[in-house]
Copies of this chain bind each other. A is one copy, B any other.
């Protein structure tokens, strides 16, 4: 007998029939003699409607009120799924974040889980009751509902699996695993049987939509056995494993792309200490996440340029902040570019294969694709390119790294 945490996203619980389908998936595990906790998201579309209302009602957002509003989406799903389970003869009850409780910090709207008290839930699970848990939500120290930010249900599932010391955490989604790249733009993409936490983390943070970055980091930290699989088929999914579980890896794992990027270049910055710190400090204070950064090498006493990428949604805000600091920074000009995409090659394999960067740059160069910014880490290389070339770049790299499915 094992203790399993299952997580179903918004598409998997998108209507009543799909919720009934989820109940059947839960029943399979119960019938196999397992204890089951199911974490669910809001029905697809619901959260968007709630967020839209919260935004449209007026410009000043009290994040605590925002949280009270958007947390209702998951509350509806857990109630419906509990009823659906009871209808097929399974003892089940819904758990809201504040009922468990899932204690979070006080950053409403993007809270972090601090602890989960599983005492009562464990007793119920041991007695054969399925726990149907609202993802994405907890209770802050002020006693009010806190949400974990978009996609937070993955994090809820992994945190619950860690707190329950679960044998497995299965993330059910509308795809049947993690692919070498997005099958919608590269039809020859193949499903990976295994991927390491580190690779998954890079893939997630680079735009692969399968798992939320924070949830992968948390699973890695707590060594949670994670599996990504389909709500709609019985095909085996992708296991996310420790590096030492994978004996050898010759190929890179995948090509990720993140289309909603923008680029800012600040030209003619005086070469004095603390300039970069001031720019990026101001941006961070205003919650603008900066990603890739390149600073042109200036000769002693000369002016320099700084180029960096950021999410397109933050572009206007970032430009405003930089303009506001023009007096103290003393730069010449700012140039922004909106239509850029980040393309990344990810894989543990590149640690033992020095030629990955060369293959990547050469493949793109042969297609006439200009690299605007480059950044690297131990297991990934990312480049910023003009968005028009996104599909071409992804497909060419997929072929160049030998990832294409065989016909």
Residues of chain A touching chain B, judged by Cβ–Cβ distance below 8 Å, are: 16, 19-20, 50, 53-54, 56-62, 64-69, 71-72, 75-76, 78-80, 82-84, 86-87, 93-94, 96, 98-99, 143-145
Contacts and interface: CB of A to CB of B under 8 A. Distances in A.
Q: How many copies does the complex hold?
A: 2
B76 A75 contact: no
17 contacts: A16-B57, A20-B58, A54-B79, A57-B80, A58-B87, A60-B86, A62-B86, A65-B78, A65-B82, A65-B86, A65-B93, A68-B79, A68-B82, A68-B94, A69-B75, A69-B80, A75-B75
Contacts of A86: 58, 60, 62, 65
Contacts of A59: 87
Nearest to A96: B68
Contacts of A72: 72, 75-76
Given A86-B62, A87-B60, A53 B80 contact: yes
Contacts of A68: 75, 78-79, 82, 94, 96
Contacts of A20: 57-58
Contacts of A87: 57-60
A216 to B, nearest CB: 30
A76 B56 CA distance: 13
B58 A76 contact: no
Contacts of A16: 53, 56-57
A98 B69 CA distance: 15
B83 A79 contact: no
A87 B86 CA distance: 44
